[in-house]
Every structure is written in structure tokens, then in C-alpha cells.
Amino acid sequence: MIESPSCNQSFRLNMQSTLNLENISDIVQLAIKEDIGKGDITSEIFIPKDSKSEGIFIANENGTVAGLPVAKYVLSQIDKNLVFTSNVEEGSRVSKGTAIANVKGSTQSILSAERLVLNFLQRLSGIATLTSKFVEKVKGYKTQIMDTRKTIPGSRSLERYAVRVGGGTNHRMGLYDQILVKDNHLKIIESEKENGTMNSLVKKARERIGRKMLIEVEVDDLSHVRDVLNAGVDIIMFDNMEPSKISEAIKTVKEYEKVRDTAMDKAILTEASGDITLERSAAMCSADNVLPRFDALIFAFVSSECFLPLCAAAIRAFTSGRAMVAFILAIASGERFCLFADIRHTPVHILCGFRPIGKAI
């Protein structure tokens, strides 16, 4: 069974989930060099050069498909004559047994590309699958799922693309596009007070960046909320605070918004981090009766596991087991709240049937 992206999701995919292949060229070339190097010696020796085959990628479990454009690009970099065809849309939810794509051409080239293509499809589909689960879990709460910088070095653009395919939204891409004052920054500020107070430092930041960047500050105690609000920040992140304390903190934010300078027309965003699971995220959202504008944005990162069984040749290529990712973020979608969590990702299995289709003429 194939469930295509909904109208809203399709719009989101068109607007946000496009992938600039130039941005992933370096990582793809590195992957090719790492895996193929000087050549696939096994295929070159055992497979006739003029042999032609077809590889069929089959979902071996339910999941959200992500990485089809990447798979096509990887194949083109290995052999420009390979023909890749997608059978489902990017972002589609598929059930076990669905043939999601196929590739035709040189048997040697397909065998050489097999593992690389599966690695990208597995990881990205896994990320999209878990992200979509979080999106579904908080459905109805005007939520938006977002990610953090806790990505595999060099893979951020790909991993964050998969988040978008799964229905999530990206947080800051790096240290350069948003100010986020965390606990270590605060410790230094506190120990070196001659550098200025939070108010003066935020004012200094505003003078430098204006309103073109958001300023976010982390707090771990209710007593700090008012000080941060008075400093004029855009976002407050509640770190490892109990839900009851967060509720109190948000009430403080709302009270502040009622009396603050009317020239500041943007609502203050609030975030929460620390031990946010799929179940707990839903519980946080259910507090909406206490917090009328409790708009939770939660992101979870997961990578997919794909299998490539080469049917005709009676070969199966299995991915290595499961991996652990500590990479989750949530930020307010509609001016209110977001959550962070560490997620253990489980790969989505994908098979690739392999069959000879004759030798070149």
C-alpha cells in the first residue's frame, strides 16, 4: 500500500523539502571514494563487463520514503548510463513489500552502487519515518517538528532534508544564523560580570544584528524567566524543567506579553528540552487546556535501515544493525512552545531485487 503525501504535505514538500544536489555533491563524492575507491574488484572480476541487470528497491517494512533524489544522483555519479525510476513520491508512506524504485543498466555498476544507495535511502527514510511519527503524535495541536545541530558531521543538509520530508521543519542551520545563549555561555557571563548583564549583552547583540536574527536564551529555573524576558529575547528555552514548572514559566511569559512595549509585535517563542519522548510530547500537548496557546514543535531524528536482496542472483545485502542518534529539537511553530528529545532510531528495511536482463548488443 502506498499513501502519498497529503495536500498540505505535498505543498510542504514543494516549498521546503526540495534538495539542492550541489549541496550534497561533496558528501556523495566522499562516500564513493570511501566505498568504491579504485574500483569494485569483486564485480570487475566475477561479472562480465557487458552484463545488464535491473535492481528493484522494495520496502521490507512500513515507513516514510526519503532519499529518492539522492539515490538517483548517487547512481548518476557512478555510471551516467544507469536509468533510475521512482515508483512512489518522495515522502510517501509505504507498507512492507512496496517496490519504491528500480534501476537498470550495467550489472557491474549496479553492484558497485548498491550499498551506497541503500545507505542513503536507509538513513534518510529512517529520519523521515520517525519524524512523521512525531508529527502524527502531536497532530491537532498546531505543532511543527524541528531539528537540532546534533547531526552526523558533514551530513547536516541531507539529514535536515529528511526531517522536512517527514513533515518537520529545520531549526538554525549552524552557529552563524541564530543566537542561542546556552548554559556554558551563561556560566561565563555570570563569572565575568564586567562584560555586562544579560540586558546589556542582548542590547549589544541587537545593535549588531538588528532584527534579522532571532535571539534565544536557555533557562533552567523559574527565577531566571523574568530577567530573560526583560532583556528582550525572541525565544526562551526551558532546559530540564518539569512540566508543572514549564506551565508556570509560560504563564509568566504570557503575563509579560500583556504589558510589554507594544512596539514589539512578535510573540515570544518558548521551547523545552530534556527527556522528551514520543509519549511525553503528546502529554505536553494535552496541557493545552492549561496553556491555551501551547503550540508544541517537536522533532525526532531517525535513520532508516534498508535491505537490498538481489533476488535473481540469490544475493541479499543487509545493513548493519541499529544506530543511536541523539538529535532532536522542537521549536515553536505558532508563537508558543517547542520540545527537545533524544531518540533511538530504528532503520526501515528496504530490499532491492536484482535480475539479469541480458547482455549488451
Question: Is there a catalytic annotation at residue 257?
Answer: no
Whether 139 is catalytic is no
With a CB cutoff of 8 Å and minimum separation 6, the contacts of 94 are 1, 2, 3, 59, 62, 63, 64, 65, 88, 100
Does the annotation mark 239 as catalytic? yes
Q: In a 3-state reduction of DSSP, which class is residue 147?
A: coil
Phi, then psi, of 102 in degrees rounded to 5: -145, 165
- For residue 218, indicate whether it is catalytic: yes
> From the CB of residue 252, how many other CB atoms can be counted at a distance below 10 Å?
15
User: DSSP H helical segments within the chain, as ranges?
Assistant: 7-16, 21-35, 41-46, 68-78, 107-137, 156-165, 183-191, 198-209, 225-231, 243-259, 278-285
Catalytic residue from among 40, 61, 218, 271: 218
Query: Which position among 89, 239, 288, 335 bears the catalytic label?
Result: 239
| Burial of residue 8, with CB atoms counted within 10 A of its CB: 0-12 exposed, 13-18 middle, 19 or more buried | exposed
- Alpha carbon distance, N-terminus to C-terminus of the chain: 38
Residue 216 is among the residues annotated as catalytic for this protein:
no
CB burial of 105-144 (b: ≥16 within 10 Å; e: otherwise) equals bbbbbbbbbbbbbbbbbbbbbbbbbbbbbbbebbeebbbb
Catalytic residue among 104, 115, 203, 226: 115
Which one from 96, 104, 149, 150 is the annotated catalytic residue? 150
Whole-angstrom distance, CA of residue 356 vs CA of residue 224: 67
Catalytic residue among 139, 182, 187, 359: 182
Contact call for residues 273 and 342 (beta carbons, < 8 A): no
- Residues belonging to the active site: 115, 150, 182, 218, 239
